[in-house]
Amino acid sequence: MSTEWEAVIGLEVHAHLKTKTKMFCRCALEYGAGENTHTCPVCLAHPGALPVPNALAIEHTIKLGLALGCEISPHAIFARKNYFYPDLPKGYQISQYEQPLCGRGALTVPTPDGEDVVGITRAHLEEDAAKTVHAGGATGRSVGADYSLVDFNRGGTPLLEIVSEPDIRSADEADRFLRLLRQTIVELGVSDAEMEKGTMRADVNVSVRKRGETGFRPRWELKNMNSFTFIRRGIDAAVREQVAAYERGETLEQSTYDYDPDTDRLTVHRSKEEADDYRYFPEPDLVPVEPPAELVERLRAELGELPGSRIRRIEAEVGYELAYELVATGNEPKAVALVEHGVDWRAAANVAMNQPDFLLENAGALAKILQANVTRDALNAAFVAAGTGSIDVDEYLGQTAVSDESALEPAIDAVLAANPQQVETYRGGKEGVLGFLVGQVMKETGGKADPKVVNRLLREKLQA
Ligand SMILES: [Zn+2]
With cut-offs at 50, 70 and 90, classify the pLDDT of residue 69: very high
CA distance 398 to 375: 10
Distance from the CA of 40 to the center of ligand 1, in angstroms? 4
Distance from the CA of 157 to the center of ligand 1, in angstroms? 9
pLDDT of residue 135: 78
Distance from the CA of 16 to the center of ligand 1, in angstroms? 16
Distance from the CA of 42 to the center of ligand 1, in angstroms? 5
pLDDT over 70 at 273, yes or no? no
Distance from the CA of 86 to the center of ligand 1, in angstroms? 17
Distance from the CA of 103 to the center of ligand 1, in angstroms? 29
| Interval 101-131: pLDDT, tens | 999 999 999 999 999 999 999 999 999 999 9
Distance from the CA of 19 to the center of ligand 1, in angstroms? 14
pLDDT of residue 274: 57
Q: What angle do CA 59, 64, 70 make, to 5 degrees?
A: 105
pLDDT of residue 182: 98
Distance from the CA of 96 to the center of ligand 1, in angstroms? 20
Average pLDDT of every residue of the chain: 92
Mean pLDDT of 200-214: 96
Distance from the CA of 26 to the center of ligand 1, in angstroms? 6
Distance from the CA of 27 to the center of ligand 1, in angstroms? 4
pLDDT of residue 1: 54
| Interval 144-175: pLDDT, tens | 678 889 999 999 999 999 999 999 999 999 99
The length of the chain, given as a count of residues: 464
More confident residue, 463 or 94: 94
Distance from the CA of 38 to the center of ligand 1, in angstroms? 7
With cut-offs at 50, 70 and 90, classify the pLDDT of residue 2: low
Distance from the CA of 82 to the center of ligand 1, in angstroms? 20
pLDDT over 90 at 8, yes or no? yes
Distance from the CA of 58 to the center of ligand 1, in angstroms? 18
Distance from the CA of 155 to the center of ligand 1, in angstroms? 8
Spatial strand order of the sheet with 200-210 comes to 105-111, 114-127, 158-164, 5-16, 200-210, 220-225, 255-260, 265-271
Distance from the CA of 126 to the center of ligand 1, in angstroms? 15
Distance from the CA of 10 to the center of ligand 1, in angstroms? 33
| Interval 326-338: pLDDT, tens | 999 999 999 999 9
Give residues whose Cβ lies within 5 Å of ion ligand 1: 25, 27, 40, 42-43
Distance from the CA of 279 to the center of ligand 1, in angstroms? 25
Distance from the CA of 25 to the center of ligand 1, in angstroms? 5
Distance from the CA of 23 to the center of ligand 1, in angstroms? 9
pLDDT over 80 at 438, yes or no? yes
pLDDT of residue 382: 83
Distance from the CA of 43 to the center of ligand 1, in angstroms? 4
Distance from the CA of 53 to the center of ligand 1, in angstroms? 12
Widest CA span in the chain: 91
Least confident of 69-83, 207-221, 351-365, 416-430: 351-365
Distance from the CA of 50 to the center of ligand 1, in angstroms? 11
Distance from the CA of 253 to the center of ligand 1, in angstroms? 40
Distance from the CA of 28 to the center of ligand 1, in angstroms? 8
Residue 300 burial (CB count, 10 A): 13
Long-range contacts of range 388-391, CB-CB < 8 Å, 24 or more positions apart? Answer: 389/358, 389/361, 389/362, 391/362, 391/365, 391/366
Distance from the CA of 22 to the center of ligand 1, in angstroms? 7
Q: Which of 100-104, 260-264, 405-409 has the highest mean pLDDT?
A: 100-104
Identify the CA nearest to 178 among candidates 305, 70, 328, 310: 328
Distance from the CA of 78 to the center of ligand 1, in angstroms? 18
Distance from the CA of 263 to the center of ligand 1, in angstroms? 40
Q: Which residues of 264-292 are buried (b: 16+ CB within 10 A; e: fewer)?
A: eebeebeeeeeeeeeeeeebeebeebebe
Mean pLDDT of 437-445: 89
pLDDT of residue 32: 87
Whole-number Cα distances in Å, 242 to 7, 210, 220, 253: 10, 12, 9, 10
The answer to whether 43 touches 203, Cβ cutoff 8 Å, is no
With cut-offs at 50, 70 and 90, classify the pLDDT of residue 142: low
DSSP 357: G
CA distance 289 to 72: 11
Distance from the CA of 121 to the center of ligand 1, in angstroms? 31
With cut-offs at 50, 70 and 90, classify the pLDDT of residue 194: very high
The answer to whether 342 touches 371, Cβ cutoff 8 Å, is yes
Mean pLDDT of 180-201: 96
Distance from the CA of 154 to the center of ligand 1, in angstroms? 10
The answer to whether 31 touches 20, Cβ cutoff 8 Å, is no
pLDDT of residue 446: 82
The answer to whether 87 touches 36, Cβ cutoff 8 Å, is no
| Interval 21-64: pLDDT, tens | 999 999 999 988 999 999 999 999 999 999 999 999 999 999 99
